[in-house]
Amino acid sequence: MESIDKVSGTFGKRPIEPKANVSSAVIRRLPRYHRCLGDLLRDGKLRISSAELSAIMDITASQIRQDLNCFGGFGQQGYGYNIKFLYNKISELLGVNESYNAVIIGAGKLGRALAATHMFERRGVNRLAMFDVDPTVIGTRIYDVPVYSVDQLGDFCREHNVHIGVLTVPKEAAYDVASIITEAGVKGIWNFANMELKLDNPDVIVENIHLGDSLMTLCYEIKTANEKREKDE
Amino acid sequence: MESIDKVSGTFGKRPIEPKANVSSAVIRRLPRYHRCLGDLLRDGKLRISSAELSAIMDITASQIRQDLNCFGGFGQQGYGYNIKFLYNKISELLGVNESYNAVIIGAGKLGRALAATHMFERRGVNRLAMFDVDPTVIGTRIYDVPVYSVDQLGDFCREHNVHIGVLTVPKEAAYDVASIITEAGVKGIWNFANMELKLDNPDVIVENIHLGDSLMTLCYEIKTANEKREKDE
C-alpha cells in the first residue's frame, strides 16, 4: 500500500504539523534524513524517489514513506520528493533555524575539539562561550570562543539567554554544573560526562553521549564475527 | 512471571553462550549495563536486584531480566544479581578483555581529543599509533601516541595486527582510508567522518558516529517542548 500523501508535497501550502506522539525512533531518524538530503542537494540533485532514498539510507522505502508521513507527508506519487522542499521542511521541524545559544562547560581536550568543529554553526547553534575552573585557560580564547570562569556560568546563561549547555566536565562535577545552568534557564543539556544525567526537572531535555558504549559495541561485534568465522572454518 | 534463570548465576559453571540472534537493541544496552555495574562496584556494592537496577537504568525490571536471560541469565531469585560476577561476564561477552589493537587515522582536533581519553584503555583497546597527511605532525607524538604518515598505514596495520581503525578524516577521504585498512586486515571501523560508510566487505564491522545528529535531536526536543509550553500557557 502506498502511503504517500497526494495532497501536500511541493504544492501544498498548509502548515506541516507533526502528528502528536511521533515515536522517538522516527525523530532519531530525522537528522539522518536531513544529512542525506543535504548531501544530495550539494550534489545538485533535485528530486528523489523513496526507493532511491531507501538505497542510500538503508531504510526500506515503505518505512521512509511512513516516517515522512508522520510529519504531514511531502511526496507526490510518481514524481518522488522535491529534495530542497523536504530538506527545508525537515530543517524547520528539527529547529535548525531557531538560532539556539550554547555554552561549553569544560575546556579540556573534548571541549576544545567540540569548540573547533563546524557542527554547531551548521545546525544553527551559536557557541557563545566556554567555562572552566583552570585559571590558566580562563580569559583565553579557544578557536575564537572566549573562556570564562565557572563562577560566571549562571549569570552568563541568564544574561545571554543560553538554551543549550554542552557538558564536557568530569562526571563528579556533572550534577553541580547541570543544576547551575538549569536554574539559569538552560533547556537542553548535551552531556559528554560519561554518566547518565537524570534531572528532576521535566522541562530540561538531556541528551547523553556515551562514546565508550559505541566502542564497546564495536568490540563486541568484532568478537562475535571472529567467533563465527572460527566456527565456520 | 519471573524469568530469572535459577540454575546458573554465581554457582553455575557452564559457559555463557549468547543465544543466536540476540537483537541489536539488547547488544546496544550491554555497554550501559557494563558501565552502571562498574559504577556500583566502585561504590562497593555487592548485590543488586533487577528492581534496583531498573531504577538506576530507567529500564523496566522485566526488560532487565529478559536482557540478561538472552545471555544465559545470571540472577538468583530472591538474592538478586552478584554485581562482580555480572560485570565480569558482561566484560567477557563484550570482548573487553580481548586486547584489540587500534589506530587513529586523522590527527586533527577530534583525533587528538580521542587519543587523549582513557576510553580505549578502559575497554582493553590499545591505541598503537595515529596517521595523518600533514608533514608538520608526522613524526611527533600526541599524548604519547606516535604519529606516522598515511603512506605507512597499510603496512603498519598488517605488521601490528590492527583490529580497529578510528576514522577522524574528512569525509572525502573516508572510503580511501577504509579500503587501505580493510585490505590490511582491520575488522572494525569506528567512523567519525560524518558520513554513512557502507562497505561491500561483510566481514568488516562499521560503527558510524554522528555527533551532529545527536545535537539536532536535542534542538528538536527543545523546540517541541517550547511549543508545548507555549500552547499550554
Pick the CATH number of A100-213 from 3.10.110.10, 3.40.50.300, 3.40.50.720, 1.10.3720.10: 3.40.50.720
pLDDT digits (tens, 9 = 90+) for B65-111: 888 877 665 666 677 888 888 888 888 888 887 889 999 999 998 99
| Residue A11 grid coordinates | 504544492
- pLDDT for residue A195 is more than 80: yes
Distance CA B63, CA B79 (A): 18
**Inter-chain touch B110–A113, beta carbons under 8 Å:** yes
Beta bridge partners of B146: B141
pLDDT surpasses 90 at A15: no
Q: At which residue does the C-alpha cell 515515536 appear? A: A23
Band of pLDDT at residue B15, cut at 50, 70 and 90: very low
A2 closest CA partner among A58, A76, A57, A71:
A76
- Sign of torsion, CA A191 A195 A199 A203? positive
Distance CA(A14)–CA(A80), nearest Å, equals 19
Q: Does domain B9-94 have CATH number 1.10.10.10?
A: yes
Is the model's pLDDT at B10 over the cut of 50?
no
Complex confidence, ipTM: 0.81
* Residue B3 in this model has a pLDDT that exceeds 50: no
Q: How many CB atoms lie within 10 A of CB B117?
A: 18
Report the residue from B31, B113, B229 with minimal CB separation from A213. Answer: B31
Locate B168 and state its grid cell: 577522524
Chain A and chain B share a number of CB contacts under 8 A equal to 187
> Mean pLDDT over residues A184-192, rounded?
96
- Please judge whether A187 and B226 are an interchain contact, meaning their C-beta atoms are less than 8 angstroms apart: yes
Distance, CA of A111 to CA of A123 (rounded, Å): 18
Q: What is the pLDDT of residues B108-136, one digit of tens each?
A: 989 999 998 888 988 889 999 999 999 99
| Percent of chain A residues past pLDDT 70, beyond the cut | 87
Task: Check residue B72 and give its pLDDT.
Answer: 61
Q: What is the pLDDT of residue B11?
A: 33
Fold of B101-213: Rossmann fold (3.40.50)
Q: How many angstroms separate the CA of residue A152 from the nearest CA in chain B?
A: 24
At residue A58 the predicted structure's pLDDT band, cuts being 50, 70 and 90, is: confident
Question: How wide is the angle at C-alpha B180 spanned by C-alphas B197 and B130, nearest 5°?
Answer: 90
Please give the Cα distance from A132 to A90 (Å, whole number): 35
d(CA A207, CA A147): 23
Residue A196 grid coordinates:
547518565
**Cβ within 8 Å, pair A94-B31:** no
Q: Do A222 and B30 touch (CB under 8 A)?
A: no
Q: Where are the domains of chain B?
A: 9-94, 101-213
pLDDT in tens, A75-134: 666 778 888 888 888 888 888 878 899 999 999 989 999 998 888 988 889 999 999 999
In chain B, the residue whose alpha carbon lies closest to the alpha carbon of A215 is B190
Q: Hey, are the CB atoms on B219 and A187 less than 8 Å from each other?
A: no
